[in-house]
A and B are shown apart, each in its own frame.
Chain A
Amino acid sequence: MDWGALHTILGGVNKHSTSIGKIWLTVLFIFRIMILVVAAERVWGDEQDDFICNTLQPGCKNVCYDHFFPISHIRLWALQLIFVSTPALLVAMHVAYRRHEKKRQFRKGDQKCEYKDIEEIRKQRFRIEGSLWWTYTSSIFFRLVFEAVFMYAFYFMYDGFRMPRLMKCNAWPCPNTVDCFVSRPTEKTVFTIFMIAVSSICILLNVAELCYLLTKFFLRRSKKAGNQKHHPNHENKEETKQNEMNELISDSCQNTVIGFSS
């Protein structure tokens, strides 16, 4: 079970996302997970081995490393990415539940059911409205919360995202204040800033998606209220149908998540 498996699981959710959601997923997998696996893990690979303190006192290095790096950046990013991508599973579960209900209806031989066979139900893309809208919006909200929490945790632990070259340590058993040198500080700073920047872009995309969903919701509501005021005549029905088609065309988007191997 690794990033590739997570990609497979979330790829399925992609079909029921908005266009912004699909862009967000692509950014997540290519600019964050892939960078983490392919580059960042190598940079942090020797973080403890090459953390050198100017002392021969056994244990001083271990203690100083633990003092300055309570949780490594790599692990924090891995946890952040796992937490940020899992709210999408709420949407996947809701869609699976709806499909299950439609299949049950179909099997009962319900006259209202407009599907020709089970395969059509399986392949159908559900519109984001009703209870699915609420699930989708909650998932975006949770994503935002997790991103913000981890950004704060980073800032709190590492005081400003910059990796210094030298740290002064006087935790026991270090005999005095001891100079400790971090391995690859500049490269680590570069990657930290990169990951923070992409995280901010993802936050912006999530906020944009939330605004888009709210706007769509209010527009739909006002349209419904407007239609209820006037008697539905033939021309209005055609207009409504055309509008719906236009919406569907603008909503749908080619699947842009490019597969990658871990």
Chain B
Amino acid sequence: MNWAGLYTVLSGVNRHSTAIGRIWLSVIFIFRIMVLVVAAESVWGDEKSAFTCNTQQPGCNSVCYDHFFPISHIRLWALQLILVTTPALLVAMHVAYQQHQEKKLLVLTGHADPKHMEEVKKHKMRISGSLWWTYVCSVVFRLLFEAVFMYIFYMLYPGYQMVRLVKCEAYPCPNTVDCFISRPTEKTVFTVFMLVTSSICIVLNMAELVYLVVRACARRGQHNSNPPSGKGSFYGHKLSSEYKQNEINQLLTDQDGSLKDMLRRNPGLQEKGDRCSAC
């Protein structure tokens, strides 16, 4: 499991994201993960071996390095990127759950042919109802993780600038000892770059949050002024059946959700329900 594996997992989520969500995902993968793998890792590659202290005292080098770099930038960024990308999996899990419910319904209503099953897998879920809440939570968590890591960075490495020289007096260093960091300018450049992209991602997440909230309010306003006509006459033939399915799904998920309860409430489905292996 490496960055490529994470990319595969998250590309699937991409389909059910908003446009801003897709832009955010591209920025993460191209300007953060790719730059980390392709460039930043080689800059920090020799950070310990080339960390030189002006002393012959054994152990002083290691102790001073550990004192000034409790966690390396590279590892912090790797953790940040993993934690920031994983809330999207909440959405993926919810979508998978909804698809599973739709498939169960298809089986119950006798439409369990491969064509309909494929369509359930392929069609894009609308971000409404409980999926909207899951999506909004994932965006909030992303924002939270980004902010927390930016703060941790600031606490550990105040000012984001990498200095050339640090003065160390931790035991066993005999006195205050000069220690020199390897490639400080290059490291500063990359730190600033990663900081800027992180800020861009925060801005994109906030924009996405605002967009989702505005869309939900607009939908609510529309719903209040135009009560639904039931058949969904605004949509074409295929969408109206999808719309019906989504509505039935919502009913299923809003209520108990268990099949037996559904059968009890709809005795007409009992016959078809007998074919259901999940009962």
Contacts and interface: CB of A to CB of B under 8 A. Distances in A.
Nearest to A3: B38
A59 B165 contact: yes
B30 A59 contact: no
B76 interface: no
B29 to A, nearest CB: 5
B34 interface: yes
B180 A62 contact: yes
A63 B35 contact: no
Interface stretch (B46-54, B246-254, B264-272): B46-54
A66 B164 contact: yes
A75 B178 contact: no
Nearest to A86: B30
A234 B4 CA distance: 56
Size range of the interface on A? 20 to 34
B30 A82 contact: yes
A71 interface: yes
Contact of A66 (B3, B19, B33, B183): B183
Contacts of A97: 19
B35 A66 contact: no
Contacts of B52: 58-59, 61-62
Nearest to B238: A107
A2 interface: yes
B48 to A, nearest CB: 13
Query: Of residues A1, A5, A66, A107, which shows the largest number of chain B Cβ atoms within 10 Å of its Cβ?
Result: A1
B54 A58 contact: yes
B235 A108 contact: yes
Contacts of A71: 185-186, 189
Contact of A62 (B7, B29, B182, B238): B182
A70 B23 CA distance: 31
B262 to A, nearest CB: 29
Given A59-B165, A62-B52, A75-B39, A6 B178 contact: no
Contacts, number: 108
Interface in A80-106: 82, 86, 89, 93, 97
Contacts of A57: 54
A9 B181 CA distance: 37
A109 B178 contact: no
Given A58-B54, A62-B164, A70-B189, A109 B34 contact: no
Query: Of residues B39, B43, B50, B178, which shows the largest number of chain A Cβ atoms within 10 Å of its Cβ?
Result: B39
B242 to A, nearest CB: 9
Query: Of residues B35, B38, B186, B189, which shows the largest number of chain A Cβ atoms within 10 Å of its Cβ?
Result: B38
Interface string A52-71: 00000111011101100111
B228 interface: no
B4 A1 contact: yes
Contacts of A1: 3-4, 7, 29-30, 33-34, 37
Interface in A13-51: 41, 48-49
A60 B92 CA distance: 53
A72 B186 contact: yes
Given A58-B54, A89-B26, A82 B236 contact: no
A78 interface: yes
B99 to A, nearest CB: 18
B50 A62 contact: yes
Contacts of A49: 46, 50
A92 to B, nearest CB: 9
A12 interface: no
B42 A75 contact: yes
A74 interface: yes
20 contacts: A1-B33, A3-B38, A5-B29, A48-B46, A48-B183, A57-B54, A59-B53, A62-B50, A63-B180, A66-B184, A71-B189, A72-B183, A72-B186, A78-B35, A82-B30, A82-B31, A93-B23, A107-B239, A108-B239, A173-B54
Interface of B: 3-4, 7, 19, 22-23, 26, 29-31, 33-35, 37-39, 42-43, 46, 50, 52-55, 164-165, 178-186, 189-190, 235-239
